Amino acid sequence: MKKLFIKYKLFFLLLVIFVFITCKISVAYSQSNQELLISESKIPTVISNGAKIPSWSEITFATMPPISSNGSFTAPKETKSQLGYDLSRTWSAGQTPDKYMKLGDLQDVFQLQRFTLDRIFSITGLDLNSLNLDSFDPIKSQTVETLLEAIPDIGKMPVSKVKPIYDLFAEQLSINRNSKINNILRQSPLLKKLKFKSLDLSKYPINSIPRLRSTPLAVWKNWQVANISGIPGLNQVPFTQFPSPIKAVGSTFGRVDIAFGTAEQQIKRTVSGSYKEGFSVPCKNNCAHVELSGVPSVNGKAWISGKYNKVKGGKGFLGRVNGGKEPTGRHPFGDAFKVVVWDTSEKDATAEQALFFRICRRHHFVDLGCTPYFIGPVPFLDYRETDPIFLGLVKDNSKNPSAPVLSAPSVVAFQASQTEDSQTNYIAELINDRQDSCSGTTIAGIDVEAFNQVVNPQENYDFLGNYLCDLKGNCGRSLGTIFHSYDPEVRAIISEKPGGSNFLSRLDTGESINSSEMLEFFSDIEQQKLALARTKNLLKNASQKIDPYTGEKLTEDRLTNYAAQMHFAGDIPVDAEVVNSSGESAKSYGQKITNKYSQINDSKQCS
């Protein structure tokens, strides 16, 4: 019996050793995989002022490092019914950003929606013969009606010239191959609602829809929800060849002096934070960081690790996601992503950076804003002590310290939080708020306030964009939703205030400005009043124009349509054939605005 007990004891001991070794192998395998992921994620760099910075001309969304963790975001069902599409998404460790980032997330940063397929193909040299319609995500959400809105000339063609439309029609009724598409739809209007996703799109080459290749992405219905990987070749376009190319913001360099671990605490002088809190947010505890040396604006300051510390971020409705928090960090390359110090090692004297992305959504006159930067981490650059480092735009905020960073006792899990029930009706409330007031001011029968709500949607009064130049040569920064810093009326409002001239100088030089400063010099009330005054002038001018079809002054829908055309393109003739850089025409824009105005006006309960 004693021998049997010893035998079983030995067996269990060997079993424990086996399990222990297996677990160690498993952990080591997992760690080696993670290390392999990071080591294989090295991105090309160039040297500037002794510091390595990304060689953006060699970097595309498909060649960026893969994300290191899984995550998801579930949007309220009500947002889908209001917007016409679902904001939810999921991402998995190992995916490159083109697999989980959408066009709408970057519409104000890189303006990818201005691309046409022809332009993408000319940059990438992609072989057209290898592509079919299934590779072009926007077509999957189109109907015959929305396709004709995007490419109106198709309606004038014989149906046999557009094979996908012919096949859709042929499934419903017998048709003459030589009949023009518009004529068929006049006789059978229900065919407009047929959806292209009902076809096997892999059977149709890209060229089976005429002029699809030359049509800007922004023309397609719900283009915002297309993944970057869902536009053929877009994930192969270098960042320097986007319609609005990536740029360095600021020119400050420093040096990584010392890397510290989480034992550090009470760090007051920092260069990290967020747009919402500023970029000098102190840290209370778990203050892993790199201490910087160099010019006076950075010497002795800390870039706090965002792995253990988070700050307030985001804007608008989506700003509530993830509890309104994001890892502390900086934006040396603009708003597309946030650069975060992630891992630091005192032993190895090293620090590793990571990128975090965000979700943004603006759809017609409903602007949901942007989530905090919480999609990550995506491995970025690594540094050793004494290495030069590019910091971007840095100013001395020591006279106006921000609130302490909220720190967790362990690694912060940046996962999307579920939207609370109290938030689910926000979209409906947002739209209803625009519809429930009855303005007493009308011009030629048009409700000025209602029309203003449609042509001048204003949600993010504290928004401040990057310094950019438009196609007319105007250079400046976006202020709020609809204004710009180069606007004479805007500059007059700001300059009249104490410190206004200095604030304008900071705008013009691209300095970092927080939301409270923005609203101090150009408040939401001032933005609303200026927008309403411009709308009044717009309607007054439009109401004096003669309708070329009737020979009389414009009224009702014709007036709102032309006023919207003027808002779109300036003082142009009525129904002029004018198209913007995204391919949208003044006439189609005018009709969209008229339809929205009618919806708002019809919904009012005015006596």
Nearest partner of 64 among 389, 380, 383, judged by Cα: 380
**Given a cut of 90, is residue 338 above it in pLDDT?**
yes
d(CA 347, CA 275): 32
d(CA 157, CA 546): 33
What are the DSSP calls for 524-539, one per residue? HHHHHHHHHHHHHHHH
Contacts of 303 by beta carbon, 8 Å cutoff, 6+ apart? 270, 271, 272, 289, 290, 292, 329, 330, 341, 391
Cα dist from 368 to 45, 192, 383, 457, 599, whole Å = 35, 30, 37, 11, 20
> What three-state secondary structure class fits 305?
strand
Cα angle: 590, vertex 456, 433; to 5 degrees: 110
In percent, the amount of the chain with pLDDT more than 70 equals: 81
**Given a cut of 80, is residue 429 above it in pLDDT?**
no
pLDDT band of 465, cuts 50, 70, 90: confident
Q: Amino acid letter at 246?
A: I
**Given a cut of 60, is residue 84 above it in pLDDT?**
yes
CB atoms within 10 A of CB 79: 26
**441, two tokens:** 């001011």
**Given a cut of 70, is residue 418 above it in pLDDT?**
no
**Given a cut of 90, is residue 246 above it in pLDDT?**
yes
Q: What is the mean pLDDT of residues 62-67?
A: 95
241-245, 347-351, 408-412: which range is least confident on average?
408-412
Q: Taking each helix axis from N to C terminus, what angle separates 500-508 and 488-495, rounded to the nearest 10 degrees? A: 140
pLDDT band of 430, cuts 50, 70, 90: very low
Q: pTM of the full predicted structure?
A: 0.64
| Each residue's pLDDT tens digit, 93-123 | 999 999 999 999 998 899 999 999 999 999 9
Task: Provide the pLDDT for residue 603.
Answer: 60
Q: What is the mean pLDDT of residues 154-169?
A: 94
162-176, 250-264, 428-442: which range is least confident on average?
428-442
Task: Provide the pLDDT for residue 445.
Answer: 85
For residue 377, cis peptide bond before it (omega within 30 degrees of 0): yes
Average pLDDT of the chain is 81
**Given a cut of 70, is residue 26 above it in pLDDT?**
no
Q: What is the mean pLDDT of residues 365-374?
A: 84
